[in-house]
């Protein structure tokens, strides 16, 4: 669904600010973003969006079910956002720089459901979080291996 239609379908007007915020998420398909990162990217090329507007927009889009909000235990309580329809198997948290990436893995996905089922459990949501060092941090610091 195009972002315009998506907004309309949940009763939100496609304002320039909402479109801008959604564009940031589409440009970062493989990442979870915190509110500050969204703000920093949203103001690139435009000064028409303020920090408070970005925060309010994130809250609206989350409430409307377009974004999913989660707090990963990455040593901070910062909320992270991603598009709800991007179904990732898990998150990759760099404990050096704090960047949060994501990955898909069909086998892990199936395995998780099988484990839940064999425990008599119906799975509707799960979150796998891997902690370690990202490639950038590993390249810049030899001791981070
Ligand atoms: Zn890193």
Question: What's the confidence (pLDDT) of residue 73?
Answer: 63
Residue 133 Cα to ligand 1 middle (Å): 5
Question: What's the confidence (pLDDT) of residue 119?
Answer: 95
Q: What burial class does residue 116 get, using C-beta atoms within 10 Å of its C-beta: 0-12 exposed, 13-18 middle, 19+ buried?
A: middle
Instruction: Provide the token pair at 142.
Output: 């030899």
Q: For the chain, what is the total number of helices (H) and then of strands (E)?
A: 6, 6
Non-local (6+) Cβ contacts of 124 within 8 A are none
Residue 9 · residue 1 · CB < 8 Å: yes
pLDDT over threshold 70, residue 86: no
Residue 119 Cα to ligand 1 middle (Å): 36
Residue 101 Cα to ligand 1 middle (Å): 10
Read off the pLDDT band of 8 (50, 70, 90). Answer: confident
pLDDT over threshold 90, residue 101: no
Question: What's the confidence (pLDDT) of residue 120?
Answer: 95
Tens digit of each residue's pLDDT (9 = 90 or more) over 115-137: 999 999 987 777 788 888 999 99
Residue 141 Cα to ligand 1 middle (Å): 10
Give the separation between CA 54 and CA 11, rounded to whole angstroms: 19
Q: What is the average pLDDT value for the chain, to the nearest integer?
A: 83
What average pLDDT does this structure show over 90-118? 85
Sheet holding 100-103, edge to edge: 100-103, 90-94, 128-132
Residue 127 Cα to ligand 1 middle (Å): 20
Q: Is the dihedral of CA 62, 64, 68, 69 positive or negative?
A: positive
Question: What's the confidence (pLDDT) of residue 38?
Answer: 93
* pTM assigned to the model: 0.65
Residue 63 Cα to ligand 1 middle (Å): 30
Instruction: Provide the token pair at 25.
Output: 């998420």
Question: What's the confidence (pLDDT) of residue 144?
Answer: 58
Read off the pLDDT band of 3 (50, 70, 90). Answer: confident
Residue 122 Cα to ligand 1 middle (Å): 35
Tens digit of each residue's pLDDT (9 = 90 or more) over 30-60: 788 999 999 999 998 777 889 999 999 999 9
């Amino acid at each position: 669904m195009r972002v315009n239609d998506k907004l309309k379908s949940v009763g939100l007007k496609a304002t320039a600010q909402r479109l801008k915020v959604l564009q940031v998420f589409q440009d970062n398909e493989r990442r979870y973003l915190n509110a500050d990162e969204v703000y920093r990217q949203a103001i690139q090329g435009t000064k028409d969006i303020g920090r408070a507007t970005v925060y309010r927009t994130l809250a609206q889009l989350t409430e409307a079910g377009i974004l999913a909000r989660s707090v990963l235990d990455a040593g901070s309580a910062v909320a992270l956002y991603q598009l709800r329809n991007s179904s990732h198997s898990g998150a990759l948290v760099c404990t050096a720089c704090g960047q949060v990436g994501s990955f898909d893995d069909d086998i892990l996905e199936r395995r998780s459901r099988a484990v839940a089922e064999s425990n008599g459990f119906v799975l509707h949501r799960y979150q796998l979080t891997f902690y370690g060092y990202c490639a950038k941090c590993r390249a810049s610091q030899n001791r981070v291996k």
